[in-house]
Chain A
Amino acid sequence: MSLLQQEREIILSNEHVDNFDFAEVEDFIRNADKNLFISHHFKNKKKMLVQPRGGFPTYKKQFALNEFFVEANVDVLPLTIDSNTRLNDYATAKKMLLLSEENDVDMLNGYPLVTHGYRATRKMVTHFNKPVSLRHGTPDARLLIETALASGIFDIEGGPITYLLPYSKNFPLDKAFLYWKYVEKICANYSKLNEPINRESFGALTATLVPPAITITIQLLEMLLSLEEGVKSFSVSFSQTGSMNQDIVMGAVIKKLSRHYASSINCSDATINLVYHQWMGAFPTNKDFAEQLINMSTVIAAMVGADKIITKTREEASGIPTKEANAKTVANTQYTLGILNGLPKIVDEEEEEILTLEVNAIMEAVFNDSADTLWRKVFNSIKSGVIDVPFSPHIINHNEMITIRDAKKNIRIIKRGNVPIPDRCFLYEKAQCDLTKDTTSMVNDIIHDIGIMQ
């Protein structure tokens, strides 16, 4: 038996798993309907795919939510996982699920997939026969992803960097790399049986003034870590920055560079898609304004040329949205996409060149690390601050980089820290900003720059 299979048997044999039948699961995936695979839809799509967010604790409520989404003409169904399951606390998830079922009050902020198990969840997934995207935030997602794939969920979000640096203070980063390596291998192996399993990185990161160069670098690295294990379908992503031009520039550069770096490790046979997140920062409390913001995000996604858009709702500022509000965004977004015709092509060569130089410089510094494998190089680069994510709560993150918005609301780097931004680019970034201010008014500006949409 292979080492991987031995590890799988350990992961899948415990009191939270009801008799995982390896042969049956493999058979199910081999014969699964193509409609369940988002990779199949990406291949044949004629328009941008629309995917909301959403997860409720009970099977019944999740089923009802999906019915609303289907009614609103959804392309991809979400399955958002609760925070206990994300932290591998399956016992608490189970307790809270029972309470939710007994009292009809939601005691979990998502669907506890491991607790429901793959046999029940597969019934729901195959009933709707739409691709399902798994949304979580789990550093050790081995059991969760095994359960998801066995359920017919073939779009798996996350990664060792993007699900750790924004979400955790001290989960060990090196362990996260190894746990995600397991996930990549499982996805790669199942991809040989039918249409490929799609992996998606979470480019929104902290959604707080993250400069494009950092976002793109991390997207490329998670893509490479996935492709080198044999994954054949990967989505890079980013979220609305606050400047339409910066979004368009980012879209152009990430498309170009993802193909370039994929072919640099002889993986040009893999399909790379682009996912755009509607505004991920603080939302206006006025629900009508929230809808305007969502609509504008959709227009920008079309300008960017995204393959999939992930939506927000008018209730974003007030908590977990109702199924009605959630479905409404899906219908509205489909409507907007349907009437967006004759979009102009905007190319900003200077900005594209600056951003490309920045990303290539950081990538080169990562590759030049003396470690023997890519994940160790990336680990060392985060530790040394070559990769620095603004506003990450994690202790390993350097927090030396400082960013603000310029007059056009582009996110600009005004302090590099250890990130190897080339001098020419750094001078360009700073030249766009008013740097004569003292730190106190700078901090006020940063507070304003974060809450730009409120």
Chain B
Amino acid sequence: MKVVTGVVGNDIHVVANRLIELSLNARGFEVFNLGVNTYLEEFFDAAVETNADVLLISSLNGEAEGWSREVKLLRSKYKTLDKLVMVIGGNLVVGTADAETIVPKYKKYGFDLIFHQVDLNTGLDTLEEYLKERKIV
């Protein structure tokens, strides 16, 4: 199971990104970590290049919201990404808002799983269950 991950935009907060990589590795995923300060095109390019099953984008400073508006449009330009599971997590808003308003918004942007201020392991458990249910594992 291949996962491309990284922190979107001009966000340089690296700590959680390293921990995500460690945790994914421990759970048996093959991880391609693009690190901090990564643009959407780079995520999709990497997903194509590695033939990834999951794209896990994270954000700490909340700028993900600005970038996410372009996800659907950009993804449609790639032909081989139909089966890619799209996950986003971290702090998904600049300022404050609760998950009830954020999750539907990000669903519309094209994400399958949305984790706003969710504990890392809870999020990864949910991802594993999701993959099992869809028989992607």
Contacts and interface: CB of A to CB of B under 8 A. Distances in A.
Contacts of A440: 23, 26, 121
8 contacts: A167-B12, A392-B14, A393-B37, A399-B18, A439-B25, A439-B26, A442-B22, A443-B23
Contact of A395 (B18, B22, B23, B35): B35
Contact of B22 (A167, A169, A392, A439): A439
A399 B35 CA distance: 11
A443 B35 contact: no
Interface string A437-454: 011101110110010000
A208 interface: yes
Contact of B23 (A167, A169, A170, A439): A439
A169 B36 CA distance: 7
Nearest to A208: B15
Interface string A154-168: 000000000000010
A169 B37 CA distance: 7
A391 interface: yes
A443 B37 contact: no
B120 A443 contact: yes
A208 B121 CA distance: 21
Given A206-B14, A391-B18, 17 more contacts: A169-B36, A208-B15, A390-B18, A392-B14, A393-B14, A393-B35, A393-B36, A402-B22, A439-B22, A439-B23, A440-B23, A443-B22, A443-B120, A443-B121, A444-B121, A446-B19, A447-B19
A169 B12 contact: yes
Nearest to B18: A391
Interface in B3-19: 12, 14-15, 18-19
Contacts of B120: 443, 447
Nearest to A394: B35
Interface residues of A, number: 21
Interface of chain A, main secondary structure:
loop
Contacts of A443: 19, 22-23, 26, 120-121
Nearest to A168: B12
Nearest to A399: B18
Contacts of B37: 169-170, 393
Contacts of A393: 12, 14, 35-37
A440 B18 CA distance: 13
Contacts of B23: 439-440, 443
A440 B23 CA distance: 6
Contacts of B18: 390-391, 399
Interface in A57-86: none
Nearest 10 interchain pairs by C-beta: A439-B26, A393-B14, A169-B37, A393-B36, A443-B23, A393-B12, A443-B19, A391-B15, A391-B14, A443-B22
Contacts of A167: 12
B91 to A, nearest CB: 14
Nearest to B19: A443
Nearest to B21: A399
Contacts of B19: 443, 446-447
B35 to A, nearest CB: 6
Contacts of A395: 35
Nearest to B121: A440
B120 to A, nearest CB: 7
Contacts of B12: 167, 169, 393
Interface string B86-127: 000000000000000000000000000000000011000000
